[in-house]
Structure 1
Amino acid sequence: MKTAIVWFKTDLRVEDNETLIKAISQSEQIIPVYCFDDSHFETTSYGFKKTGSFRTQFLLEALENLDDNLRKLGSGLVITKGKPEVEIPKIVQYYKARKVFVKREVAFEERKTEKLVQDKLFKLRCEIETFSTSTLYHAEDLPFSIKNIPDVFTNFRKKTEQDATIRKPFEKPKQIYSPSIPVLNLPTLIELGLEFSELDSRAAIHFKGGETEAIKRLNHYFFETKNLSIYKETRNGMVGEDYSSKFSTWLALGCISPKFIYNEIKKYELQFGANESTYWLVFELIWRDFFRFMFKKYQTKFFLYSGIKTEKVNSKSLNDKLLFQWINGKTTSDFINANMLELKLTGFMSNRGRQNVASFFCNELNMDWRFGAAYFEQQLIDYDVSSNWGNWAYLAGVGNDPRGHRYFNIEKQASDYDKSREFRNLWLK
């Protein structure tokens, strides 16, 4: 019997999941697997956890929901924990699988792990096949090769919009054939080396992990409230759950795909009309694509102090006292403090807040930007390797900003975006 493994990573969904669809079409039975990679729960060289408790809690909920959705189709989710290059081959041997289907990675560490697994599977005469499932535009459909992708977003966007098409999303499978899958057995936060973080009651939104919640959020933001029609005007808001879509959290773990969202935007436009706001959400999805493709192009460079600029000597060190003040909302700026407290106590921060606290970190505190990026990696529920490190490099002047350096006037930003002090009053009381 042809048995295949579907190794889930940051694609925790059954709708529009090419990896799952291709595995089903090429196999007689499949085993869906998720591996808790030990390295994801270690402390990084910057002194922060790679994955903090807010994101881990969201991940556990997402896996529970994935298992539930798989069981409705006749399958379930096998959980393993350790090093993927050890654990995935073990499962391959146990189920006598001949192929592993998995989403394709772009960032350095993830690709390294993928290669280690591939080498171990080769010895077991087991093939690995990867699929690109994280972007709106497929890499093969871009009007340029990866090495020739423009480094300036506007050039990338215009040419891509003009010359590339967005593929249709894959429908979810009607049935999955699997052997009997044991009851879901998730590790606890304590087993993962973390403590439970209670969500602050002032949180803009209570994120719950999983594809079911992602689709529920989309329906709320699009069809129930029609907030999509005013997205461009409200997206720089800072208080409440509906000033922006908040999709980034579910996108980061692949509980929903960009193509699925795009398809729903098109349905919405047919029903309620297209405008600048409905386009603007697509525009933001293209930004997300851009950073992912930049990582394919530059690989490890986004983790260097010099970023994708070749010769920038690291002139900035770390000041523990200033770092502590920034993290704990004790800086000289009340606007920065309010944003940093929101991040610390909820795992979320608005897009406007992120740009300001990053600019403050790089320009006012004058510290090595990578420590800021590493703290975000630990803290953000919606952490996505390409978007996080790509955006930080951009603001530090070593990424894709054509102007070379972006400096925010924090006081002006505060009066523009928190005119009535509603946001600061909420978090600083």
Structure 2
Amino acid sequence: MRTSIIWFKTDLRLYDNETLYRAQEQSDEIIPVYCLDDAHFIKTEFGFQKTGTYRAKFLLACLLDLDKRLRNIGSGLIVVKGKPEEEIPKIAKAYNAQRVYAKKEVAYEEKKAAEKVEKALWEIKCSLEVYSTSTLYHAQDLPFPINEIPDIFTNFRKQVESDSFIRPVFPSPAHLDSPPIPDLVLPLLGDLGLEDAKVDKRQAMDFKGGESEAVLRMQQYFFERKAISSYKQTRNGMIGDLYSTKFSPYLSAGCLSPRGIYHQLKIYEEQYGANDSTYWLVFELMWRDYFRFMMKKYHNRFFQQNGIKSKDHHIASHNQELLETWINGKTGDDFVDANMLELKLSGYMSNRGRQNVASYLVHDLNLDWRYGAAYFEQQLVDYDVCSNWGNWAYQAGVGNDPRGKRKFNTQKQAEEYDSEGKYRKLWLKKR
């Protein structure tokens, strides 16, 4: 009996999940497992929770949905809490599993955690098999090795578009052979050291976790509302659920894969036509790929204040009082404050808002950009380690921006993107 564990992480889906596909292909029995890593629920060196309330609630909903989808095909999800290097081998021993299948990691802490699990598994004669499941373009299909990827996105994009290809998707399994899986038991937010937060009715969208909700959102945005056909014109909006795809939380948790989105986009284009807007979604997915490949190239340098730049880069000092004015929307800059209040009270912010508040923290307040990145890590429902730290380094002038420091004139931005002041009125008014 070939018994294997599939260790779900940020790939909480059945469709286009190579890890799941290979596990089923090479095993007689599958035990699906998710580990709530204790390290994800601590305070970071910057004083913030590594996982805040909004993302934790979203994650728990994703796990509940994944369990339901697995039980529909004869399996189920075991959720454990603790250190993965202890919990995963413990389950492997209990079920006499010979292999553990998991997604491949590229970020520093995630790689270290996987290495600890692999070492612990070897001690019980169990192997760890990993697969890349998070990108549109597979790393093996790039026209250059990882250490030679261009440090300028445009150069990367042009070469990849001309010399690479997007692989087909993996189908969802129709059935999984599993031993009896116990009923799902999920912790409460309090068990994770978090407090619940009230839902703010001003939020751009009520993000409900899970692959089922992700598929519904994609169906609505593409085929019901046909909003993708005007995406390039609306993507800098700031109010409501249709100015952008709102796929990012589902991508970050792995409820959707970039290739899954691309596949549906191609179906949409066949029915309703391709244009600049449909291309722009692929363009944005390539940016997401790029930050992941950059993290793979530069390892932990994206978490240092100098980023991937030289050591003589200006080092900003920390000022807790100024940082808290930024966090609490009390800087006196109404555009920045409105965006920061949206983030604080909903766990989300538009792309336009993110660029402006990051620029303000770095260039107007002259603070260490890593505190901003760490606060986003705590707050964002769609936090993705590569995109978050890559974008913050970019904005701080220590990442992949060829122009160096890029300072936003926030009042000019407000006039352009919130000309009637509707967004600012929405978030600055008293509840």
User: Structure 1 length as normaliser, TM-score?
Assistant: 0.99
- Equivalent residue pairs, number: 429
Partner of 1:260: 260
Partner of 2:69: 69
Partner of 1:107: 107
Q: C-alpha separation between the residues in 2 aligned to 1:314 and 1:414?
A: 28
Q: Is the 8 A contact 1:4 1:100 kept in 2?
A: yes
Displacement after TM superposition at 1:318 (Å): 1.3
Mapping of residues 211-230 of structure 1, within 5 Å = 211-230=211-230
Displacement after TM superposition at 1:411 (Å): 0.7
Displacement after TM superposition at 1:314 (Å): 5.1
1:118 aligns with 2:118: yes
Partner of 1:209: 209
Partner of 1:330: 330
Partner of 1:299: 299
Gap runs ≥5 in structure 1: none
Partner of 2:309: 309
Deviations along 1:350-378, one digit per CA (max 9) or x if unpaired, are 00000000000000000000000000000
Letter in 2 for 1:124: I
Q: C-alpha separation between the residues in 2 aligned to 1:320 and 1:78?
A: 41
Q: C-alpha separation between the residues in 2 aligned to 1:283 and 1:381?
A: 22
1:270 match: secondary structure: helix
Deviations along 1:293-330, one digit per CA (max 9) or x if unpaired, are 00000000000000000223553111111111100000
Letter in 2 for 1:202: R
Q: Is the 8 A contact 1:305 1:314 kept in 2?
A: no
Deviations along 1:113-153, one digit per CA (max 9) or x if unpaired, are 00000011111110110000000000000000000000100
Q: C-alpha separation between the residues in 1 aligned to 2:208 and 2:83?
A: 27
Partner of 2:185: 185
Partner of 1:369: 369
Q: C-alpha separation between the residues in 2 aligned to 1:106 and 1:323?
A: 30
Q: C-alpha separation between the residues in 2 aligned to 1:201 and 1:314?
A: 41
Q: Is the 8 A contact 2:306 2:315 kept in 1?
A: no
Q: C-alpha separation between the residues in 1 aligned to 2:197 and 2:117?
A: 33
User: Structure 2 length as normaliser, TM-score?
Assistant: 0.99
Q: C-alpha separation between the residues in 2 aligned to 1:251 and 1:124?
A: 34
After superposing on structure 2, the runs of 4+ consecutive aligned residues of structure 1 that deviate more than 3 Å are none
Q: C-alpha separation between the residues in 2 aligned to 1:275 and 1:306?
A: 39
Partner of 1:26: 26
Letter in 1 for 2:111: R
Partner of 1:199: 199
Partner of 1:418: 418
Displacement after TM superposition at 1:332 (Å): 1.9
Structure 2 CA distance for partners of 1:314 and 1:48, relative to 1, 3 Å: farther
1:338 match: secondary structure: helix
1:190 match: secondary structure: helix
Partner of 1:400: 400
Q: C-alpha separation between the residues in 2 aligned to 1:287 and 1:48?
A: 27
Q: Is the 8 A contact 1:62 1:211 kept in 2?
A: yes
Deviations along 1:212-246, one digit per CA (max 9) or x if unpaired, are 00000000000000000000000000001000001
Q: Is the 8 A contact 1:55 1:380 kept in 2?
A: yes
Q: Is the 8 A contact 1:305 1:312 kept in 2?
A: no
Q: C-alpha separation between the residues in 2 aligned to 1:72 and 1:312?
A: 57
Q: C-alpha separation between the residues in 1 aligned to 2:291 and 2:312?
A: 21
Partner of 1:387: 387
Partner of 1:350: 350
Q: C-alpha separation between the residues in 2 aligned to 1:242 and 1:329?
A: 25
1:89 aligns with 2:71: no
Partner of 1:145: 145
2:191 match: secondary structure: coil
Letter in 2 for 1:237: G
Q: C-alpha separation between the residues in 1 aligned to 2:275 and 2:314?
A: 45
Partner of 2:133: 133
Q: C-alpha separation between the residues in 2 aligned to 1:404 and 1:317?
A: 19
Identity %: 60
Task: Report the aligned-residue RMSD.
Answer: 0.6
2:331 match: secondary structure: coil
Q: C-alpha separation between the residues in 2 aligned to 1:199 and 1:206?
A: 8
Q: C-alpha separation between the residues in 1 aligned to 2:313 and 2:275?
A: 45
Q: C-alpha separation between the residues in 2 aligned to 1:144 and 1:199?
A: 46
Partner of 1:239: 239
Letter in 2 for 1:5: I
Q: C-alpha separation between the residues in 2 aligned to 1:255 and 1:163?
A: 29
Q: Is the 8 A contact 2:328 2:341 kept in 1?
A: yes
Partner of 1:409: 409
Q: C-alpha separation between the residues in 1 aligned to 2:332 and 2:226?
A: 39
Displacement after TM superposition at 1:31 (Å): 0.1
Q: C-alpha separation between the residues in 1 aligned to 2:48 and 2:81?
A: 21
Mapping of residues 274-289 of structure 1, within 5 Å = 274-289=274-289
Q: Is the 8 A contact 1:34 1:80 kept in 2?
A: yes
Partner of 1:17: 17
Gap runs ≥5 in structure 2: none
